[in-house]
Amino acid sequence: MGKYFDDIHASKESQFNNTPCKIEDSPAIKELKAKIRTEPDNYDAYLELGDLLNFQLRYRESIDLYSKAIAINPLDVRGYRSRAPRYIATLQFEKAYKDFAFCEEKSGISLDTSYRIGHCLYFMKAYKAAEIRFISCIGLAENDFEMLAAINYWYIICRIKLGEVNISIPDLMPTHAQISHHAGYQNAVELFEGKLSIAALIENTNRYIEPMNKPIALYGLFNYYIYKGLFEESRQLLESIINDDVYWICFAYIGAWVDCMELNKK
């Protein structure tokens, strides 16, 4: 995988809380903004500019651009598909759900949209509906073992959120399956299966080739603690996940953030 975002990028606070974002435009962004000023109806230019802003994590600005593109061509699903995950990254889950649902309505159900609709429902605390969505993704993933690891992970966490005390974990992985990109998901699943210890999972978080796997694995461990009734350990770990916010764009980090906000209400 390449870089997830530019070295100079927007903060979590600017995107979660809509505080001022003072990031300078790159030369490419300046060039596209100038093009749009002369071609205000250029649909593709808005999408391209939105994508460049995404690389700087300037999601709230890219949402505005995708919205302008949608206003130009409201039947083209590309604008909605580009805008939807940025709504998730700015904690606007209902809007993300509507965009992904529009994509499904126009283009049919796919693993791409169904998996992310599952996340929208999860973040909206509609855990049963999210569980059903993730289960539906199993058939769509076929032999994509990386995605099957992620699907299994989110299914298990949905069951925990629903208060399940004896989770039956689907056996989705053949013995020859190799997981690399989604190692954090698979390690968390292995923890629930009893194939990996807590100590081994924690040790692995410092070894991942792709560091975004760390918050993924630790959010799995957080939910494992809840499953086992280790609530003090879960609270301490949740605080640690939130404080290490380099990869705040990660769905697992957003899940931890939503859980933390819910705990703070109590």
Which portions of the chain are predicted below pLDDT 70?
1-2, 266
pLDDT attached to residue 170: 85
Enter the pTM of the model.
0.96
Q: Cα angle vertex 189, ends 237, 114, to 5°?
A: 100
Q: How far apart are CA 202 and CA 129, in angstroms?
A: 31
Residue entry with tokens 């690389």: 55
Q: How far apart are CA 193 and CA 1, in angstroms?
A: 28
Q: How far apart are CA 12 and CA 23, in angstroms?
A: 13
Amino acid letter, 42: N
User: Between 59-72 and 77-89, two packed helices, what is the crossing angle to 10 degrees?
Assistant: 160
